[in-house]
Structure 1
Amino acid sequence: MSRQTRTPDITLFFLGASRAIRIAWLLEELNLPYRLVSSARAANGLAPEEFKAQIPTRLGKSPVIRDGDLVVQESAAIAEYLCETYDPRGRLLPHERKARAKAREWMAAAEGTFMIHALAILYARWRFPKSANASKYLREMEKGLAANVQNDLNWLEAELADGREYLVSRDDDGEGEDDGVSAADILMGFSIEFIFARRLGTDGADWPNVRRWLRGITHREAYIRAVERTGYSL
């Protein structure tokens, strides 16, 4: 069945305060109907076991979608599947070669660069012994790990220095909508929001262009609808 004629039968498995907001947001941008199976985090900050048991994957992680008889996990893979199946105009994943390559670059960087560097700091905080002496070493470790996060944010800051509202330029793309939002903004948006909210390597510096871009994309109607429907909050 072609992407133009396929009828969506989508269920989104959504854990609160997680990457799953990316997929709810993308579904709202595409105006796709979906069922929501959601859960708040348990008192320990993890996914409740009864929620994980409902997710039709071996890992039991969120986000996951089920579309008919197909199950897809991992944010970028879900985003690409939804765009390729239900976005024939290429609004969120452009058709034009350069714009599509750039969108995929940012989608990969959202996890493979930005989040992996930030999570190193978060995991150190979680696992380091809780003592005054250990805290001194943790601060030194965070300082060293912060360099990667700040380099990443400096890259994004420079890319946005021209004042653009969205990450991917559509100058050469005549097929998509003209507002410019893409799956790259959606995937990267969570990563940056998470880094800022948890102050993961950000102390002592600021990135005004990044903050301007983040404010803009999180004021989109589709993002607001996704937050209201899912109850998402960091």
Structure 2
Amino acid sequence: MLTLHHLDNSRSQRVLWLLEELQLPYEIKRYARNPQTMLAPAELKQVHPLGKSPVITDGELTLAESAAILEYLIDRYGEGRLVPAADSPDYRRFRYWMHYAEGSAMPPLLLKLVFDRISTGPMPFFFIRPVARAIAKGAHKAFIGPQLKLHLDYMESELSKSPWFAGEEFSVADIQMSFPLEAARTRAGLDASYPRLSAFLKRIHDRPAYQRAVERGGPVMPGR
């Protein structure tokens, strides 16, 4: 039996969503974050040495990393669904967005999360807090903010070419792209000023499989 090791409010929601889209039989084992550190519990290291989620087990196979898991599931169980034809331009776009999501879109979002926590988190000495806040503010103004705007503008522009990231049809690339966009909506200024990205999020939220995944795995609020 295929098992998803699912961490609350994490990238594993994408895997859960794909499982629902494909209507595959699976088991879900849920893990809760540490309420102080927000890190995954130590039990996940019994499944994979890095102790992170998502992780799936399928027979003798244990596989981590979102894109690798999504590609494995679609290659083994997809039967041609949710992937453009291999000889089409849409397939090249599909592969691009599968890598762009974590390789380009997520790093500035993670930097913003880290620096926001530096500026607002507890400090061992009260006189350090103004220094930390100044460093975080400088990093955001000089690099993080401009990078976030660059990527949001780029993704907004790309969705002017087609309603979905890899073309006219919904694909696994849209599932992969959902997490950085959910994160951007939560903490990086993705609002009504980006109408195509906002419409994309509404379309995915309206999908029955997405709604079933939320029912099973909980809401997606990256960074909270």
Shorter-chain TM range is 0.7 to 0.9
Whole-Å separation in 1 of the counterparts to 2:108 and 2:148: 6
Task: Measure how far apart 1:133 and its partner are.
Answer: 4.1
Distance 1:81 1:146 in 2: 35
Is 1:68 the counterpart of 2:59? The answer is yes
Amino-acid identity (%) = 38
Query: 1:20 maps to what in 2?
Result: 12
> Gaps (5+ residues) in structure 1?
1-8, 171-179
- Is residue 181 from structure 1 mapped to residue 174 from structure 2 by the alignment? no
TM value normalised by structure 1 = 0.83
TM-score (norm 2): 0.87
5 Å-filtered alignment, 1:164-179, equals 164-170=162-168
Question: 1:213-232 deviations in whole A, cap 9, x for unaligned?
Answer: 11111210000000101123
Which structure has greater helix proportion?
2
Give the equivalent residue in structure 2 for 1:93. Answer: 83
1:60-209 superposed matches below 5 A: 60-89=51-80, 91-97=81-87, 98-127=89-118, 131-144=129-142, 145-162=144-161, 164-170=162-168, 180-197=169-186, 199-200=187-188, 202=189, 206-209=193-196
The one-letter code matched in structure 2 to 1:15 is L
Distance of 2:26 and 2:2 partners within structure 1: 5
- Within the candidate set 19, 23, 33, 1:31 is matched to 23
Instruction: Give the Cα separation in 1 of the matches to 2:191 and 2:22.
Output: 38
Do the aligned partners of residues 153 and 203 (structure 1) sit closer, same or farther apart at CA in structure 2, a change above 3 Å counting? closer
Letter in 1 for 2:42: E
| 1:58 shift after superposition | 1.1
Alignment partners' CA distance in 1, 2:199 and 2:140: 26
Within the candidate set 28, 40, 48, 1:47 is matched to 40
**Aligned to 2:79, what secondary structure does the other structure show?**
coil
Distance across 2 between alignment mates of 1:140 and 1:216: 36
- Aligned pair in 2 of structure 1 residues 203, 70: CA closer, same or farther (>3 Å)? closer
Secondary structure of 2:76's counterpart equals helix
Q: Give the residue type in structure 1 aligned to 2:193.
A: D
- In structure 2, the gaps of 5 or more residues are none
Question: Residue in 2 aligned with 1:3?
Answer: none
Distance (Å, rounded) in 2 between the aligned partners of 1:184 and 1:46:
27
**Alignment RMSD (CA, Å):** 2.0
Write the distance in 2 (CA, Å) between the matches of 1:84 and 1:60.
25
Distance 2:39 2:30 in 1: 13
**Could you say if the C-alpha distance between residues 203 and 224 of structure 1 is closer, same or farther in structure 2, counting changes exceeding 3 Å?**
closer
1:232 aligns with 2:219: yes
Q: SS state of the match for residue 225, structure 1? A: helix
Task: Number of aligned residue pairs: give it.
Answer: 211
Distance 2:13 2:190 in 1: 26
Q: Is 2:20–2:213's contact at 8 Å kept on the other side of the alignment?
A: yes
